[in-house]
């Protein structure tokens, strides 16, 4: 079992029949000695998911909340996200995905690529800008 948030551990203990006050005391002690640390978990999670899956701040925020990480901890972890690096990641994702879309209509490509980025947590402004730039760079769309 890998790193877990406090809430994930609470849920697991409850599922196994542990009384809530006992679970709370155990988790308090684990937090005290550093075995449970939502801050470290959130920072590690953000770094990992950005690098491996190209997730943007929006998706990361949603996933961390689902795992029970408190909002203030989520906000602190997401402060490390660089908007320029995020945009560059979106460009890389679009470039990779675009290779599989040769021959499709530009409107279809735009819709599919923007949806792809939206599912990765990118906002509509960034998504459409990056997609438009990538499509404009294609040889068949250049107006030299």
- In order, the DSSP letters of 12-38 are HHHHTT--HHHHHHHHHHHHHTTS--H
In this prediction, residue 1 has a pLDDT band, given cuts at 50, 70 and 90, of low
Percent of the chain with pLDDT over 90: 83
In this prediction, residue 143 has a pLDDT band, given cuts at 50, 70 and 90, of low
Using the predicted structure, report yes or no on whether residue 144 has a pLDDT greater than 60. no
Question: What would the two tokens of residue 21 be?
Answer: 């006050």
Average pLDDT over residues 53-73: 95
- Judged on CB neighbours under 10 Å (0-12, 13-18, 19+), 123 is middle
């Amino acid at each position: 079992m890998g790193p877990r948030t406090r809430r994930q551990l609470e849920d697991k203990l409850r599922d196994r029949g542990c009384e809530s006050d006992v679970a709370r005391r155990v988790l308090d002690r684990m937090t005290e000695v550093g075995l449970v640390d939502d801050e470290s978990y959130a920072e590690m999670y953000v770094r990992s998911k950005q690098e491996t899956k190209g997730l943007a701040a929006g998706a990361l925020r949603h996933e961390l909340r689902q795992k029970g990480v408190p909002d203030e901890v989520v906000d602190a972890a997401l402060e490390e996200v660089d908007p320029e690096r995020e945009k560059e990641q979106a460009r890389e994702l679009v470039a990779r995905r675009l290779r599989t879309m040769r021959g499709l209509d530009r409107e279809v490509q735009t819709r599919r690529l923007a949806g792809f980025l939206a599912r990765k947590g990118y906002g509509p402004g960034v998504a459409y800008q990056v997609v438009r730039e990538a499509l404009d760079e294609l040889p068949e769309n250049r107006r030299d």
